[in-house]
Structure 1
Amino acid sequence: MTSLENNWQKIASAKRDALAASIPEEYRVPQQQLPLESQLDVTIWPKESGWFTAEELEITDSTALQILEKIASKSWTSEKVTRAFCKRAAAAQQLTNCLSDAFFEEAIESAKALDDHLNKTGQVVGPLHGLPISLKDNFNIKGKDSTVGFTSLVNQPAEYNATLVDMLEKLGAVRYCKTNVPTAMMIAESVNNVFGRTVNPLNRKVTSGGSSGGESALLAFGGSPLGVGTDIGGSLRIPAACTGIFTLRPSAGRFTTQRCRSGLAGQEAVASVNGPMGKTLEDITFYSKTIVDAQPWLLDPKVLPIPWREVEVKKKLKVAVLWNDGICLPTPPVTRALKETAESLKKAGHEVVEWDPKLHAKTLEILGRMFVADGGKSVEALLAPTNEPYRPEMTMYKEAKELGVSDMWKLHLERSEIQRQYLEQWMSYGDLDAILAPTTPYASVTHGDFKYVGYTGVYNVVDYSAASFPTGIIVDKAKDQLATDIKTQSEYCKGARNSYDPGLLHGHPVSLQLVAKRLEEEKVLAMTAVVLEALKSGSKAHA
């Protein structure tokens, strides 16, 4: 093997060593306190380990809004909060491999400066004053790598901050780490040749999803109070669903994506968007309002100048349920979550109808062609410098044929037409408020088994606002057995059935997504609160 052929492995190994070395000694878990490899759920470990103080646990188990209130009232310092999250993030990295960068000492210095400002002036810097916020790997931070899973981008530090990174700093947030992603951020599991695979802290045998799977693992473990991920085919919603947290997939133009790294730079047929990931709906709603209130359209010409709107949700919502998309049947716990949520909505007085997925197959076929329209050249150009091989999940890019400009323009016309048809179908339902759908066919899957992103990808093509939320329903191996008389709808469907293991997933949270029309972020978040309220009332009835 020549040195060139081996180069990518040496680079990856050195980068992993550098990341491990960046964790301060005080945040390295003593060998004897690490959980056994056989312990699958490590979210309970922080409390059981004895490695955290009671105060560190109280801080890191708090919501973002609770933390902000405590810092503003001077009950906690930002330094104390930041140190607690750095420690828990370090533990998360050691147990789930969720980080791509850690700069804890810089974070603590930033937190001290914020505390000084508050003590001297009596005023917070901004609405996010002192709150540690974790960032997906592709958010450029000056002087830090954004490898997006490619060895050729190791030791290629960014020359500038992403616009959102600057905004968060002005609002008072503390940045302290970046999180792992799959190669090019185009796989539904977070695995790449640089950092390896991120595992799910709720069950280390299953995926935390992708491409924002480092974020979801960190959040589910308690190593972040609030994170920011991105979504081009489900990359916010899939990892949120795999780990039972909340997220918002906004329409393009609500939040700034300016100056971020992309694995498919220049691909604009389907827009990549970013959004918050958090432990509560209130936290992600607060973040969303805070970012929009900061008027990002004054910094990024692609952001729409739409101020945050207060919405009053109708007393009686009309919700269409997408039971399945005609391509891949949801696994039993997801179907049960749909049924129980629909029943709870009806009991709460809302109108529930069925959504006809007649446009879904065509929409997904268009999405697939848009992703590989360059013939895989963007991916190849990032693999070639170090002779890095294609990962098996990236075969579609290796085999892709480039579209000419004329064919690409025709594809844009097809996309615009399917967007028109989808809206026309929506309007045919009368005063329809939302679609309730699976986020994925799975609660989660064993590593390497995540094959279908159709339930999320459709809404990237039509650019609708969507929130993924944990239903409070968990996988039950007794209730959620596969029916033997079900006819599979496709190879994806067959794969979902074959990989489903109710015993392994027993106790795992089940999420769904609520979808509103384009640019209805405020409405979809408010409606999600209504759905959660209905579920809460319904769960008492089911008990």
Structure 2
Amino acid sequence: MSSNGVTVSWQERAANKRQDCANKIPEEWKIPAQLLAELEAPVLDKKNDLIRGQTIRKSGILTDRELSITEDYQVVDLISALADGSLTAVEVKLAYSKRAALAQQLVACLTETMFDEAHERALFLDDLRAQGKLAGPLHGLPISIKDNFNYKGVDSTIGMICFLDDKAPEHSPLVNILLDLGAVIYVKTNVPQTMMTTDSHNNVFDRTLNPWNTTLGPGGSSGGEGALIALRGSPLGVGTDIGGSIRIPAHCCGLYGFRPSAQRIPNGGMRGCNTSGMKFVLSCAGPLSTDLNGIEKFFKSVFETRPARLDSTVLDIPWREVPVKSKLRIGVVPESSIFPLHPPVRRVLTEAVRLLEAQGHEIIQLTEEECRIVESNEIGWALFGLDQGSKKFLESTGEPPVSAMHYLMKQAGKLIGFYKQTVPDTTDLDPLHKLALLNTHRAELREAYRKIWLHHDLDICIAPPAQTTAVPHDTFGLAPYTTVTNVLDYPSCIIPFGEVGPEDANESFTLTDTQLGAEYDFENLQGAPCSIQLFTPNMRDEECLQIAKQIDECLKSKK
């Protein structure tokens, strides 16, 4: 790219953008050099637990009240306190802005900061409340958004050089809705290059680290959201999910994350790196937070606005209230022989099932043949591969693919190239007939799952969230246990449960030549969060969330 007749390399453009972002953090919010020096360096390669180590508290930058605001309040508590005046929008915005800035300095989770604009909005909201009015059900609530959401006057680079210096002319519809509901949008968060890997690393903003262990990735593609919320730099964030991009960061960072059915939450007006019109697996927007009540509040508030009026990507389906069932029929998705589970993931899933059965719920063990995890991933990755738009965007500026892209493509190529178990080879077909064949097999898969649900009379399924917990950077690869629900378009929820502990120390794990996955290193993974995944059929989002709350309470009571 040329600037005033001078050619500027992609490296210089990226460095300038990072410096511009750093300059927006006030000096008084900068972490003391002495504290940074206490971290094991380099942080990318040395195990630093920023959460249990209370690094943000040790910075001394947050007041006691700001620490309380960011640590002691869940979403619904914040909303209540903002509504009754015990907290002001300005002080809540300031507390979360400062904490987000601290998180950025530690784990590189942000892409854009709108601190000044958020301050003006908070002042407006406090003035409104002084008049006895509230802006809406989310009055004063700080919400972070993934970088692909457009915010007027701010870049949406999605970690790609070609989208630098291209400020959004208007907000995405969901951003407008959240503002109408009273929210304060104050930061945007980091993503992987192309938003298709599970490692949030790109050439513009560099690599987001996992605050539980800086040698591990936070997941992706909503990895900046995961890392920020785990450090309590946001009470609730909005990500997107096309193969696990909400759920994998929630899993890796010890959070709740909900992937709704596509076309229920506004997903239009966003930056993407796909070719226009080439949408074969629908992406969807959804929340990540530290509890399910906040996620429920998000959904109910957004649905109250009739979002289909503002975004043509949304179906006009209102939120339903569903009854609580005292006894659930729960299908258990088994471990795939091609995608074996790390010992802690297997142990946590087994323990969750045991606790649910002990509470009187009926457990139905599904078979590997029924669940067809490998086939669903073959279909998903074959569909993803039909669009080469991201490759063209990268080539337009000469920036190279990051290492996670190489690893992912190698894993996906091995899956499609060597594990064609039920999906016919489409290599020699023209694109139209290839798409038709893949859509036919996806329809057959969806019909098979409908029959599973009917045959077993299921209320919900419990499944592994991934093969692994968070793993070392650039080694996560595929996300087989989340991709299946994207191909099916089933709503899915991540519930944090347990961590890698001493009981996993002596468990062996070896990949064979016919298996895909990451290696298992207990010493490095010890302390990493674990979770379970729940899902229900398409458009039964309300049931999925209601049952998830029920199961979460059951697991909490028995921890």
- Asked if TM exceeds 0.5, the reply is yes
Shift of 1:170: 0.5
Alpha-carbon deviations, 1:4-60, whole Å to 9, x = none?
997211111111111111112222222123363316111221223332210010011
- State how 1:162-181 maps to structure 2 within 5 Å: 162-181=172-191
Shift of 1:370: 0.8
Given that residues 31 and 59 in structure 2 are in contact (C-alpha distance below 8 angstroms), is that contact kept between their aligned partners in structure 1? Answer: no
* Superposed CA RMSD: 2.1
User: Mind listing any 5+ residue stretches in structure 2 that lack a counterpart?
Assistant: 41-46, 414-426
SS of match in other structure, 1:203:
coil
CA distance in 1, matches of 2:440, 2:174: 31
1:139 is aligned to 149
1:362 is aligned to 375
1:33 to 32, 35, 47: 35
Given that residues 323 and 338 in structure 1 are in contact (C-alpha distance below 8 angstroms), is that contact kept between their aligned partners in structure 2? Answer: no
1:460 aligned onto 2:462:
no
2:538 is aligned to 518
1:414 is aligned to 441
1:507 aligned onto 2:527:
yes
1:74 aligned onto 2:85:
yes
CA distance in 2, matches of 1:193, 1:278: 27
1:242 to 252, 277, 287: 252
Task: Give 1:363's aligned amino acid.
Answer: S
Given that residues 251 and 496 in structure 2 are in contact (C-alpha distance below 8 angstroms), is that contact kept between their aligned partners in structure 1? Answer: yes
User: Mind listing any 5+ residue stretches in structure 1 that lack a counterpart?
Assistant: none
Task: Give 1:516's aligned amino acid.
Answer: T
SS of match in other structure, 1:160:
coil
Shift of 1:489: 7.9
1:214 is aligned to 224
Shift of 1:487: 7.3
Given that residues 329 and 441 in structure 1 are in contact (C-alpha distance below 8 angstroms), is that contact kept between their aligned partners in structure 2? Answer: yes
2:305 to 294, 303, 323: 294
Shift of 1:482: 2.5
Comparing 255-264 with 23-32, which one deviates more in the overlay? 23-32
Shift of 1:243: 0.5
Given that residues 208 and 217 in structure 2 are in contact (C-alpha distance below 8 angstroms), is that contact kept between their aligned partners in structure 1? Answer: yes
Shift of 1:346: 0.7
- State how 1:101-500 maps to structure 2 within 5 Å: 101-120=112-131, 122-265=132-275, 266-358=277-369, 359-374=372-387, 376=388, 378-395=389-406, 404-429=431-456, 431-471=457-497, 473-483=498-508, 488=512, 490-492=514-516, 495-496=517-518, 498=519, 500=520
SS of match in other structure, 1:425:
helix
CA distance in 2, matches of 1:421, 1:6: 54
CA distance in 1, matches of 2:477, 2:314: 33
Give aligned pairs, total.
528
Given that residues 70 and 76 in structure 1 are in contact (C-alpha distance below 8 angstroms), is that contact kept between their aligned partners in structure 2? Answer: yes
TM-score (norm 1): 0.93
Given that residues 328 and 441 in structure 1 are in contact (C-alpha distance below 8 angstroms), is that contact kept between their aligned partners in structure 2? Answer: yes
Task: Give 1:479's aligned amino acid.
Answer: D
Shift of 1:385: 2.6
Given that residues 219 and 225 in structure 1 are in contact (C-alpha distance below 8 angstroms), is that contact kept between their aligned partners in structure 2? Answer: yes
Q: Percent identity?
A: 40
Comparing 272-281 with 49-58, which one deviates more in the overlay? 49-58
Given that residues 340 and 515 in structure 2 are in contact (C-alpha distance below 8 angstroms), is that contact kept between their aligned partners in structure 1? Answer: no
CA distance in 2, matches of 1:103, 1:117: 21
TM-score (norm 2): 0.91
SS of match in other structure, 1:352:
strand
CA distance in 1, matches of 2:35, 2:403: 35
SS of match in other structure, 2:9:
helix
CA change 1:4–1:391 in 2 (3 A) is farther
SS of match in other structure, 1:207:
coil
Shift of 1:203: 1.0
CA change 1:518–1:367 in 2 (3 A) is same
